[in-house]
Chains A and B, each alone.
Chain A
């Protein structure tokens, strides 16, 4: 066995003995698709965070161009203008902020509530668990989209209403998944011994359950952000969701409908941006899954 190979192997395995976070990062680092996706997502976040610095907000909501409906490539307007004369590039960039706000906040809330519900149910068992599962069962009878529609209809237009709607629609899936993991973990020996030592359910939840849930949370979280951005745009398309003139990719698509015949770019551009964003986030989510559990590598 040559010395070099041993040294190499030893170095690789040593880096593995670091914390799980480092392990995951190392695995992520070695896959080109993952890095591309990560860069893309970071770019997206950057756009959203610094939208104001890049292009003034006014350009996204007021008429700035001399002409309306200028095609992409026109002077001063990279992506053209819409039917109100607003610069489309500006609307896209500020729209990314809207999209990410909607997606991340609702996904985060959804995950947070689901986890608490699931863990409480798993830990306390019995009546509490049954009740929670019953409620989740009822909610899951209605397709997520319909729930979101109904809540938006009830609460009216606006970004916060949309966030509430999306939070709700994602609850069933997460709660079920987190619950099954929580059940599995709660049956493990270290939890039994904690209980035997008199630990309270709350303590066990935080100290033992949560650390085991990080991987599933991150994976599901990424997926849910993508789903929510999509649903947010869909709801915007229907006419629910954010109020005009807030730039949002879905509403942009809706207004583009009327101009489908002549000015296809109005429909093409926002849709393309949506698709690419979703693709980036989804790919990142997949890569995360691979990185967290290499045994799952190669699986969808």
Chain B
């Protein structure tokens, strides 16, 4: 188990490097030349060369990449093409803000989503279930950013209940969190319900009933513990998508987080900033994925057993929970 954890943690920097490479290559497919963008409209070849050299853009791609990696390892993420200020300074302060947004929303989603989903599964076909299902369908189809705008229009402008942008007080956070939360919560509830239903149909639930167990025990102990595995998987998946959604929410509500910066950087073709922000987001995702992988072993004894030997390639347990 320990070996597995260590191996898994070691994978993190490798993944990060690969992600950085990926983004590097991607950005260099761009037709627009960042050097030209930074120069005034009239420039000489000498100006061009100077600018290029200043930002290290005159060197071949792989060299640029390695330089970047070497610098990044020491905390230097380069200088922004736009602001000409160190990227690290700017991005670092945005990280806690983005973390706050993403994690608070995820927490609420899990705390509300799991009970709702389980209840729907238990009361399948009931009025409760149908209502939640329909609501969830609607909520899940609404574009996140439009929801944000509608909320702003109604609550901020018309009703003047909440500020329209920025952070600071609790009130500032309510609308952004709600905007980010609702579409994801909708899908989450439906998927939790689905996972629960899967488990309730299993043979061991019938065995539990045949022992004379109370319904509560059957559902909340026997079935739910098995459903945890797919639920954990899907939580990880949704979190990853949610980070993408958070980028949007930050823009709509003008929250100074990493996501907001990414959009800005893209519009400005500011590569170092873009790179740094992407790395941060990737790090979030990788970190959460790591937590999820580790918690599999906690929840499922079958996986725990498979890792005593320290294997890296785990069985890809799909969403189904039938006997493996």
Asked whether the complex places CB atoms of A and B closer than 8 A, the reply is yes
A contacts, CB < 8 Å to B = 137-146, 149-156, 173, 180, 183, 226, 230, 233-234, 237-240, 253, 257, 260-261, 264, 267-268, 271, 274-276, 278-279, 282-283, 286, 298-300
Name 5 A/B residue pairs within 8 A (Cβ), A-sorted.
A143-B240, A143-B247, A146-B262, A153-B269, A267-B149
* Contact (Cβ within 8 A) B278 A261: no
**B contact residues, range:** 35 or more
Q: How far is the CB of B291 from chain A (nearest CB, A)?
A: 14
Across the interface, which residues of A come within 8 angstroms of B142, CB to CB?
275, 278
Chain A interface: which of B46-54, B61-69, B73-81, B186-194? B186-194
State which residues 253-284 of B face A: CB under 8 Å: 262-263, 266-267, 269, 274, 278, 281-282
Across the interface, which residues of B come within 8 angstroms of A261, CB to CB?
157
* Contact (Cβ within 8 A) B263 A155: no
- Tell me, in angstroms, the Cα distance from A279 to B269 when the chains sit together: 35
Interface of B is mostly: helix
Q: Other than A146-B281, A278-B143, A282-B140, give 20 A-B pairs with Cβ distance below 8 A.
A: A145-B241, A146-B247, A149-B247, A150-B27, A152-B266, A153-B269, A154-B26, A155-B31, A156-B31, A226-B141, A233-B143, A237-B248, A238-B248, A238-B251, A253-B149, A267-B146, A275-B138, A283-B137, A298-B124, A300-B136
Decide yes or no whether B245 CB sits under 8 A from chain A: yes
* Contact (Cβ within 8 A) A234 B248: yes
Across the interface, which residues of B come within 8 angstroms of A142, CB to CB?
19, 22-23, 278, 281-282, 285
Interface of A is mostly: helix
Kindly list the 3 A-B residue pairs having the minimum CB-CB distance in the complex, ordered from nearest.
Answer: A145-B244, A300-B190, A143-B244
Out of B18, B198, B248, which one reaches A145, CB within 8 Å?
B248
* Contact (Cβ within 8 A) A299 B194: yes
- Tell me, in angstroms, the Cα distance from A82 to B77 when the chains sit together: 43
Given A156-B31, A300-B190, verify A271-B150 contact (CB < 8 Å): yes
Given A142-B282, A253-B149, A299-B194, verify A271-B31 contact (CB < 8 Å): no
Task: Output the nearest chain A residue to B286 by Cβ-Cβ distance.
Answer: A141
Decide yes or no whether B36 CB sits under 8 A from chain A: no
Out of A153, A264, A271, which one reaches B274, CB within 8 Å?
A153
Out of A139, A143, A274, A300, which one reaches B241, CB within 8 Å?
A143
Q: Specify which of A234, A240, A276, A279 lies most central, judged by the most chain B CB atoms within 10 Å of its CB.
A: A234
- Tell me, in angstroms, the Cα distance from A297 to B178 when the chains sit together: 31
Across the interface, which residues of B come within 8 angstroms of A274, CB to CB?
143, 146
Across the interface, which residues of A come within 8 angstroms of B191, CB to CB?
300
* Contact (Cβ within 8 A) A150 B274: yes
State which residues 97-146 of B face A: CB under 8 Å: 124-125, 133, 136-138, 140-146
B contacts, CB < 8 Å to A = 15, 18-19, 22-23, 26-32, 124-125, 133, 136-138, 140-146, 149-150, 152-153, 157, 189-191, 193-194, 197-198, 237, 240-245, 247-248, 251, 262-263, 266-267, 269, 274, 278, 281-282, 285-286, 289, 316, 318
Out of A140, A146, A156, A279, which one reaches B141, CB within 8 Å?
A279
Q: How far is the CB of B184 from chain A (nearest CB, A)?
A: 12
- Tell me, in angstroms, the Cα distance from A286 to B191 when the chains sit together: 12
Across the interface, which residues of A come within 8 angstroms of B153, CB to CB?
260, 264, 267
Across the interface, which residues of B come within 8 angstroms of A146, CB to CB?
243-244, 247, 262, 278, 281
Across the interface, which residues of A come within 8 angstroms of B282, CB to CB?
141-142
Across the interface, which residues of B come within 8 angstroms of A282, CB to CB?
137, 140-141
Q: How far is the CB of A33 from chain B (nearest CB, A)?
A: 10
- Tell me, in angstroms, the Cα distance from A283 to B190 when the chains sit together: 13
Across the interface, which residues of A come within 8 angstroms of B278, CB to CB?
142, 146, 150
* Contact (Cβ within 8 A) A149 B266: yes
- Tell me, in angstroms, the Cα distance from A21 to B80 when the chains sit together: 56
- Tell me, in angstroms, the Cα distance from A279 to B139 when the chains sit together: 9
Task: Output the nearest chain A residue to B269 by Cβ-Cβ distance.
Answer: A153
Task: Output the nearest chain A residue to B146 by Cβ-Cβ distance.
Answer: A271
Across the interface, which residues of B come within 8 angstroms of A264, CB to CB?
153
Q: Specify which of B143, B189, B285 lies most central, judged by the most chain A CB atoms within 10 Å of its CB.
A: B143
Q: How far is the CB of B110 from chain A (nearest CB, A)?
A: 17
Task: Output the nearest chain B residue to A239 by Cβ-Cβ distance.
Answer: B267
* Contact (Cβ within 8 A) A144 B149: no
Out of A156, A239, A257, which one reaches B149, CB within 8 Å?
A257
Given A153-B266, A154-B27, verify A279-B146 contact (CB < 8 Å): no
* Contact (Cβ within 8 A) A150 B245: no
Task: Output the nearest chain B residue to A149 by Cβ-Cβ distance.
Answer: B266
Task: Output the nearest chain B residue to A261 by Cβ-Cβ distance.
Answer: B157
Across the interface, which residues of B come within 8 angstroms of A238, CB to CB?
248, 251, 263, 266
Across the interface, which residues of A come within 8 angstroms of B29, CB to CB?
154-155
Q: How far is the CB of B52 from chain A (nearest CB, A)?
A: 19
Across the interface, which residues of A come within 8 angstroms of B30, CB to CB?
153-156
Across the interface, which residues of A come within 8 angstroms of B286, CB to CB?
141
* Contact (Cβ within 8 A) A141 B269: no
- Tell me, in angstroms, the Cα distance from A21 to B153 when the chains sit together: 47
* Contact (Cβ within 8 A) A143 B285: yes
Given A257-B149, A278-B143, A282-B141, verify A138-B157 contact (CB < 8 Å): no
Task: Output the nearest chain B residue to A271 by Cβ-Cβ distance.
Answer: B146
Given A138-B19, A141-B282, A142-B19, verify A237-B145 contact (CB < 8 Å): yes
- Tell me, in angstroms, the Cα distance from A79 to B243 when the chains sit together: 35
- Tell me, in angstroms, the Cα distance from A92 to B57 when the chains sit together: 44
Across the interface, which residues of A come within 8 angstroms of B150, CB to CB?
267-268, 271
Across the interface, which residues of B come within 8 angstroms of A286, CB to CB?
137
Q: Specify which of A183, A257, A264 lies most central, judged by the most chain B CB atoms within 10 Å of its CB.
A: A264
